[in-house]
Amino acid sequence: MANVTVIGSQWGDEGKGKIVDWLSSRADVVVRFQGGHNAGHTLVINDKVYKLHLLPSGIVRPGKLSIIGNGVVVDPWALLKEIDDVRAQGVEISPETLKIADNVNLIMPVHSAMDEALEAARGKGQLGTTKRGIGPTYEDKVARRGIRLCDLRDPVLLREKLEKLMVHHNALLKGLGASEICPQEIFDQLMQIADQVLVYADQVWRVLEQARRRGDKILFEGAQGIMLDVDHGTYPFVTSSNIVAAQASTGSGVGPKAIGTVLGITKAYTTRVGTGPFPTEQLNEDGERMGQRGHEFGTTTGRKRRCGWFDATLVRQAVTICGIDGIALTKLDVLDGFDELKICTGYLLDGKKLDYFPAGQNEQARIEPVYMTLPGWNESTRGARSFSDLPPAAVKYVHVIEELIGAPVFLLSTSPERDDTILLKDPFYG
Ligand code: GDP
Ligand code: IMO
Ligand code: MG
């Protein structure tokens, strides 16, 4: 029996939250391993809607252990607010059910201020970040001046580290015409909440080792999607972390063999929030229709998501880079009622055919999609709970996708509701 690693195979918002919630009934432990509260994972259970940003999606199921691994960046104020919000929805959260790696890097108020200031300075070249301070925090981590959760236990060291951090950031803020921030102010704010956050701190790598020895099933929950990966995505229009499945290992402190079956969460069409290349984008009625039927508005920022046809070339690349064993195909129901559906099978660059998504920024902006066209269906697939309930044209669409991306469909999702999910192959027994 394998563990399972869930990752987004497009530009995020593929429905990872829904699928992780569904799979978590079979898991004992759910682990976030990268990203931060830039993520927005939606769970719909009966009439209740949960919007999770930092907390693993297993948190809503009693008896499961939720873990935030060292690869995540944690805004402690956002974390405490989210814990309060989710508790107010009736979910129990305690140091027994939530553990945060004590070596995790923290997002400070200066990081969100810097995210804003840097975006403003980019002018027309804005990346469209979530302004949550994600990029500046990862920068500080790699530059070896980050503030970590364990530092909250050591006020003398923390005060020293903040002083050094702010020498760096205040010089930049000043240069960008933004207000400087006093290190003592951040120190005081941190001291007010230190105890509330430290109750969750633990050596997550050991907790996971103990879980493995017990034979627990571990579900690793990725955020964002492969095309936002800092190495493999549409650089520089990406987030600042690695999103690939291998990050589940470095971002939580387990060996690479522990990540188990890799499940790529894949929307039946394509969306993107923020700026950057998107070859199959449909700035027309088709894109509007997908956006309306799929309620494509960002869970974190409320921004309208850009919509377009399914890009099989891009997902095939994700399958290779992440070692995806199978996919969960989501939001098939959104495509009900289209006369025809298009799937991108490759690109043209200056008249030459490409069967891969190129790395160059200008090439990515210039490539033109090559499409195949398939018939649509008029029947409703919304809420279908058996593959045999799907109209033949929908079945064909699913099989064509499997063939083009080189990976089978393990799960199929037909509405936001937890139970409107068709299991074709159990990834835990993958
Ligand atoms: P995530 O970031 O990958 O977890 O995805 P989001 O939660 O940001 O966005 C996915 C949206 O689609 C959410 O509003 C989900 O409730 C919704 N959703 C998930 N699966 C399906 C599905 O199969 N059909 C429909 N119509 N909506 C879905
Ligand atoms: P989930 O987990 C979609 C995008 C932002 C922006 C870029 C960089 O819900 O799928 P950042 O704030 O990370 O520096 O912004 O990444 N982005 C997402 N897009 N879903 C997400 O998460 C995202 N997290 C970041 O819109 O284009
Ligand atoms: Mg989302």
At residue 205, does pLDDT exceed 70?
yes
- Nearest C-alpha to atom 14 of ligand 1 is from which residue? 42
Q: Which of 11, 7, 31 is nearest to 19 (CA)?
A: 7
**Distance from residue 106's CA to the centre of ligand 3 (Å):** 21
Residue 1 has pLDDT above 70, yes or no: no
> Is residue 299 in contact with ligand 1, taking CB distance under 6 Å?
yes
Claim: this prediction has a pTM higher than 0.85: yes
Ligand closest to Cα of 333 equals: 1
Q: Which of 68, 16, 243, 53 is nearest to 132 (CA)?
A: 53
CA distance 342 to 345: 9
pLDDT band of residue 261 (cuts 50, 70, 90) is very high
Q: Across residues 23-51, what is the average pLDDT?
A: 96
- Say yes or no to pLDDT of 143 above 90: yes
What integer pLDDT is reported at residue 413 of this predicted model? 98
Lookup: tokens for 366 = 């210039």
Provide, rounded to the nearest whole percent, the portion of the chain with pLDDT above 70. 100
Q: Which of 21, 28, 37, 41 is catalytic?
A: 41
Do the domains spanning 22-100+207-231+244-261 and 262-429 agree at the CATH topology level? no
Strands 41-45 and 48-52: antiparallel
- At residue 430, the pLDDT reads 64
Query: By percentage, how much of the chain surpasses pLDDT 90?
Result: 95
Omega prior to 236 cis, within 30 of 0: yes
Is 1.10.300.10 the CATH number for 105-197?
yes
Going by pLDDT thresholds of 50, 70 and 90, the confidence category of residue 79 is very high
**277 ligand 2 Cβ < 6 A:** no
| Ligand 1 pocket mutation, candidates 9, 13, 18, criterion most atoms within 8 A of CB | 18
Please tell me if the CB atom of residue 13 comes closer than 6 angstroms to any atom of ligand 2.
Answer: yes
Q: What is the pLDDT of residue 300?
A: 79
Phi-psi region of 144 (alpha: psi -120 to 50; beta: other; left: phi over 0): left
Is 73:66 a contact under the CB 8 Å cutoff? no
| 13 a catalytic residue | yes
Pocket probe for ligand 1: among 24, 42, 54, the residue whose CB has the most ligand atoms within 8 Å is: 42
pLDDT tens string 285-313: 999 999 999 999 987 788 899 999 999 99
Q: Which superfamily does 22-100+207-231+244-261 belong to?
A: Adenylosuccinate Synthetase, subunit A, domain 1 (3.40.440.10)
Give residue limits of the domains in the chain. 22-100+207-231+244-261, 105-197, 262-429
Give the homologous superfamily in CATH for domain 262-429.
Answer: Adenylosuccinate Synthetase, subunit A, domain 3 (3.90.170.10)
State in Å: Cα 194 to ligand 1 middle: 34
CA distance 142 to 168: 14
Farthest CA pair distance, the chain = 67
Please name the residue whose Cα sits nearest to atom 17 of ligand 1.
416
Whether 41 sits among the annotated catalytic residues: the reply is yes
CA 390 – CA 249 distance, rounded (Å) = 37
The larger pLDDT score, comparing residue 299 to residue 188, is at 188
pLDDT surpasses 90 at 176: no
Q: Model confidence over 89-142: pLDDT tens digits? A: 999 999 999 999 999 999 999 999 999 999 999 998 899 999 999 999 999 999
In tens, the pLDDT along 341-371 reads 999 999 999 999 999 999 999 999 999 999 9
